[in-house]
Amino acid sequence: MSRKRKGRPLSGWILLDKPEGMTSTQAVGKVRWLTQAAKAGHGGTLDPLATGLLPIALGEATKTVPYVMDGSKIYRFTARWGEATSTDDREGPVVAQSDTRPDEAAIRALLPGFMGEIMQRPPAYSALKLDGARAYDLARAGETVELAPRQVRIDRFDLVDCPDRDSAIFEVACGKGTYIRALARDMGEKLGCFAHVTSLRRLRVGGFDISQAFSLDSLTELCQNGAAQEYLLPIETALDDIPALVVTGPQAERFRHGQSLRVSRAGLPDAQDGELVVKADGKAIGLALLVDDELRPVRVFNPDLPITPMSRSEVP
């Protein structure tokens, strides 16, 4: 007999403004504790040094995590010139130094070379695996870590400010798998001065924006008051860029049981085969693949139970 998962059957997205010093896993655990959700996951790792938008999926929303992780991201970061570190950020020891400092013109001239599809070598201190082990575990053990370059996409790379000769602030819009620490490192190498990241903040993930996010303090207060409508976004919020199809009655029930449906092309977006969000009674009930006139379930979302307020004794 399988063990019943403990916790409330909450489903939806919570957007957390992650504080510095907390890992993404710790943040998910804290939010799950606050909400008492039975299941939780996140839509893209942030380093402990980083702050900003961490989308956290509860319950059935965890089935849409890959769609969020594949979305584009926007970051704002500060690069410190003149020093390279082992981790490519300020948490690691300095391993190389230079008295050279780039001027604003040199920085601006460099940025177009980082646009589009580029090859990037991930930092040695990363969660990528090498021969079955995490790269950061090997690096911490003193081993030399050489990760193969891989292709990433940079959609926008702006110089925001040069507050002093030792640092510059940038904003970058990028695709999945881009390491901001590696961008700073590579800029420093090309400018002949070394560089590392001193601050990093994520502003956007897919369709989610930092303006929608809650701090841990705010979230704690909302959970204590049982104001679920204030912090929980619907599952389909993560799927806004996917066309939707509405089904009713017996069709919805069949779909919920994982059965394919025959549908009419009338009213379908562009009448094209592909992935669709399936809705019933105003809520997403799953994702499906439309092939010819057949709607094939890909992910089915199960209905949630009503959300009830937590007592003060249940909230940390």
Residue 138: predicted pLDDT:
62
Give the bridge partners for 274, in sequence order.
290
In this predicted model, which residue has the larger pLDDT, 121 or 160? 160
Torsion of CA 52, 140, 130, 127, to 10 degrees: -10
Rounded to two decimals, the pTM is 0.87
Question: Is pLDDT of 7 > 90?
Answer: no
Q: Kind of pairing, strands 129-130 and 94-97?
A: unpaired
Q: Across 69-73, 147-151, 161-165, which has the greatest mean pLDDT? A: 161-165
In this predicted model, which residue has the larger pLDDT, 44 or 129? 44
Domain ranges of the chain: 73-205, 237-300
Ramachandran area for residue 267 (φ above 0: left; ψ -120 to 50: alpha; else beta): left
Question: Is 159 exposed, middle or buried, given 0-12, 13-18 or 19+ CB atoms closer than 10 A?
Answer: middle
State how far the Cα of 278 lies from the Cα of 301, in Å rounded to an integer.
10
Q: Which of 174, 172, 178, 205 is nearest to 14 (CA)?
A: 205
CATH topology of domain 237-300: 2.30.130
Residue 313: predicted pLDDT:
38
Residue 133: predicted pLDDT:
67
| Catalytic status, residue 155 | no
What are the tens digits of pLDDT across the range 177-188?
999 999 999 999
- For residue 210, give every residue at least 6 positions away whose Cβ sits within 8 Å of its Cβ, in sequence order, or none: 15, 17, 52, 53, 201, 202, 203, 204
Q: 24-35 and 216-224 helices cross at what angle (nearest 10)?
A: 20
> Which residue type sits at 157?
F
What are the tens digits of pLDDT across the range 20-42?
999 999 999 999 998 888 889 99
Residue 2: predicted pLDDT:
47
Handedness of CA 48, 54, 201, 225 (dihedral sign): negative
Q: Which of 36, 6, 12 is nearest to 229 (CA)?
A: 12
Give the bridge partners for 17, in sequence order.
53
Mean pLDDT along residues 192-200: 97
Cα 40 from chain centre: 14
What are the tens digits of pLDDT across the range 41-56?
998 889 899 999 999 9
Question: Is pLDDT of 131 > 70?
Answer: no
The mean predicted confidence, pLDDT, of the chain is 86
Task: Specify the range with the lowest mean pLDDT, choosing from 135-139, 143-147, 252-256.
Answer: 135-139
Q: Map residue 102 onto helix, strand or coil.
A: coil
In this predicted model, which residue has the larger pLDDT, 124 or 73? 73
How many other CB atoms are there within 10 angstroms of residue 231's CB atom?
22
Q: Which of 85, 73, 220 is nearest to 139 (CA)?
A: 85
Catalytic: which of 17, 47, 89, 186? 47
- For residue 106, give every residue at least 6 positions away whose Cβ sits within 8 Å of its Cβ, in sequence order, or none: 191
Residue 314: predicted pLDDT:
39
How many other CB atoms are there within 10 angstroms of residue 38's CB atom?
16
Question: Is pLDDT of 4 > 60?
Answer: no
Q: Which of 223, 215, 263, 220 is nearest to 243 (CA)?
A: 263
User: Domain 73-205, what architecture?
Assistant: 2-Layer Sandwich (3.30)
**8 A C-beta contact, residue 146 and residue 155:** no
